[in-house]
Amino acid sequence: MAATARNALLKYLRVQVEAVPRNPSTTSSSVFLNSFNALRRHFSTEEVRGSFLDKSEVTERVITVVKNFQKVDPSKVTPNANFQSDLGLDSLDSVEVVMALEEEFGFEIPDNEADKINSISLAVDFIASHPQAK
């Protein structure tokens, strides 16, 4: 009974495969290279260079977001400012700043990474190295 069920199931799961004619002059390594070259994506230099934001631009934008945060004294905001000790923010305020940064840069920061961002410099480093930041 199990063999009958197996055969009935395999009848619907089988895929028709055609044999590829073998050329004796081709080696397995050249076949691999040809397959790899067919699948490889070519990246332009603009794509590679433009995949991450400039760190100075990110720094300016992060500082602007933090300065615009209601509970922050704009005169205390520096590129190395810590959210809690330098700017007087509590943990909930820090979460709100990270959420504002997500909105500014157009991508979601995972919770485990957001928990680590407690200063402007850490935010800049993370955002500048993230390929989805806009």
Which residues are marked as active site? Answer: 90
What separation in angstroms does the CA of 90 have from each of 31, 34, 45, 86, 113? 60, 57, 43, 11, 17
Taken in order 81, 55, 66, 116, the sign of the CA dihedral is negative
- 86 and 76 Cβ atoms separated by less than 8 Å: yes
Instruction: Report residue 127 CA to chain centroid gap.
Output: 10
Report the residue count for the chain: 134
- 71 and 93 Cβ atoms separated by less than 8 Å: yes
